[in-house]
Structure 1
Amino acid sequence: MLADKKANHPAVAIGCFFMGLKLLGSAPLRRFVIVPILINIVLYSIAFALGYYYIADLINHFIPSWLRWLNWFLWPLFFACFFSMLFFSFMILANLLAAPFYGRLSAKTLAIITGQTTPIIDPPIAKVIWAELKRSLYFAVKAIPLLIISFIPGLNVIAPVLWLLFGAWSMALEYTAYPMENAGLLFSEQKKLLKNVRFGAYSFGGVVTLALTIPVLNFIVAPAAVVGATLYFNQLRPHNR
C-alpha cells in the first residue's frame, strides 16, 4: 500500500493524536476504553512508584564521575532514558493485556469517521495476543544495542537521545498496528508503510512517548493513541487524496 505523503507532515500526525484524546470521551467509544484505562491505571501506578524510589539512584550510578559537573544537563537526559525504559516495559505488559480491546476500539473509531455500519467482528484472542507478542519481541531485539550503549561509560551520554528516538518509533509501530491489522496488513507491511512517512511516524510516536511520561494523563494515553493512530492511518491511505 502506498502512503499519502501529506501524512508525513509532523503537524498532521500530532494533530491526529490530540484528536484521539478529544474523541476518547465521545459516547460511542466510552464502552471500548473502560477496561484498557483500568489496566493502565494499575500498571502505570506501579511504574511510577518504582520510578520514584529507584530511578534517581540508577541515574547517579551510571553518570561517570568525570561528568558529574554536567549533572544539571545530564540528569534530565538520564531521567528520560531510564524513565522511558521503565515505562516501555510496563507499556508492553499493559498493551498485551489490553490488545483484544484496542482492536475493537480502532474498528469502532474507523466506523465513526467513515460512516461505516459494518458490525465489529472480534478476531480470535490467540491471534491478537500472538501479534502483540511478535511486536514485543521485535522491540526487545531492537532495544538490546541501546541497553549495551547505556552501560558503556562515555557512550551512555548519547543513550537517552537514542532511547527517545527508539521510543517514538516503537510507539508509532505499536499503535498504528491496530488499524493496520484490521485492514489486513502484515507486520512487515506495517513497517514498510511507516518508513515511507518517517517524519510523521516519529512525530506521532514522539508525542505519545511524551504524553506517557505525564502523571495521570498516561492512564488514558494508550487508548487515545489507538484512536489517534486510526485517524492517522486513515490519513495515510491514498483514497484521502
Structure 2
Amino acid sequence: MIKGVLAFMAGLKLLFARSELRSILMRMAGLLLLFMVLLSGAAFCMVDYVATLWIPEGEAWYWQVVSWFAWLLALLLALFTAAISFVMFGSAAVAPWLDELAARTEAVAGKPLQPASAAWPAMVLQSLVHSIRPLLGLLAWGVIALLFFWLPPLATAIWGYAGIRFLMFELIDTPASRRNWSFADRKSRLDESRWFYVGFSGVAALMLLVPIVNLTVIPAAVAGLSLHFSRQEP
C-alpha cells in the first residue's frame, strides 16, 4: 500500500515540478472545475435526501448523537459518489490532454515521445467505453450496499470498497490504453498488485474529497502511473 501512495505522490510532485506538465494541467483545469461544481451541487442534494431516510426521530438525548452520525455517513456517501462520478466523466472529457500528459511523463522517464494519433471525440468515446465494465461491477456492489441501506455503517463501508475498486480501473485507463491493454490485462495487473493499487486509489479517493485539490487528482494519477510503468518496462 505504501508503494502505491508513494507512486501517486511522485506523480503529483512531477506534475508541478515540470513546466510542460503544468501547462497541460492548466489547460484541463477549467473543464475539471466545471465538473467539480456541478457534481458538488448534486452531492449536497443527495446528502439531504439520504439523511432524511437515515436520521431517526425521537426525543431522547442519544437520538441527537445518532442523528449526527447518520448525517455524517450520508455526507461521506454523497461526497464519495460525487468523487467517483467526477473521475469517470472528468477523465473522459479531458482524455486527449491526459494522453498528452502521459506521453510527456513517459518522455521524462526516458521513453520516446509518442503522442496519440486518434481524434479528440474518439479518445473521449474510448474512455467512456472503457468505463462500462468497471461501472457494471460498481453497480453490482451498489445493489449489495442497498440491501444493507438500513445499516448505514455497513452500507457506507461496502460502497466505499466498491468505489476504491472502480477508481483502480479508472485511474489506470490512460496509461493502460497507451499500452493497448484489454480489460482482462488490466484486471490481471490490478489483481497481481492489489495492495499497490489500493494504496494508490485510496490516497486519490481522500484527495478527491478536498475541493480544488481534487482538480489535481486525475492528472497526478496519470503522471504517477505513467512514470511507474515506464520505470518497470525495459
For the criterion TM > 0.5, the same-fold answer is yes
Following the alignment from structure 1 to structure 2, what is the Cα–Cα distance between the partners of residues 217 and 146? 28
Query: Alignment partner for residue 38 of structure 1, among 27, 30, 41?
Result: 30
The structure whose RCO (Cα within 8 Å, separation 6+) is larger is: 1
Following the alignment from structure 1 to structure 2, what is the Cα–Cα distance between the partners of residues 102 and 72? 40
Query: Alignment partner for residue 118 of structure 2, among 120, 123, 145?
Result: 123
Q: Which residue of 1 aligns with 2:204?
A: 208
Amino acid at match of 2:48: D
Distance 1:121 1:132, change over 3 A: closer
1:157-195, Cα deviation, whole Å (9 max, x unpaired):
412112222222222211222112212222220111111
Check whether the contact 1:168–1:204 (CA below 8 A) recurs between aligned residues: no
Q: Which residue of 1 aligns with 2:50?
A: 59
Query: Alignment partner for residue 226 of structure 1, among 197, 201, 222?
Result: 222
Query: Alignment partner for residue 147 of structure 1, among 117, 137, 142?
Result: 142
1:167-224, Cα deviation, whole Å (9 max, x unpaired):
2222221122211221222222011111111111111111111111101101221111
Amino acid at match of 2:24: F
Following the alignment from structure 2 to structure 1, what is the Cα–Cα distance between the partners of residues 49 and 26? 35
Q: Secondary structure at the match of 2:181?
A: coil
Query: Alignment partner for residue 39 of structure 2, among 36, 41, 47?
Result: 47
TM-score by length of 2: 0.85
Amino acid at match of 1:21: L
Check whether the contact 1:13–1:232 (CA below 8 A) recurs between aligned residues: no
Check whether the contact 1:167–1:206 (CA below 8 A) recurs between aligned residues: no
Q: Secondary structure at the match of 1:56?
A: helix
Which runs of 5 or more structure 1 residues have no equivalent in the other structure? 1-9
Q: Which residue of 1 aligns with 2:4?
A: 13
Percent of pairs with identical residues: 22
Check whether the contact 1:107–1:120 (CA below 8 A) recurs between aligned residues: yes
For the aligned residue pairs, the C-alpha RMSD in angstroms reads: 2.4
Aligned residues: 227
Confirm whether residue 168 of structure 1 aligns to residue 175 of structure 2: no
Q: Which residue of 2 aligns with 1:85?
A: 81
TM-score by length of 1: 0.82
Amino acid at match of 1:42: L
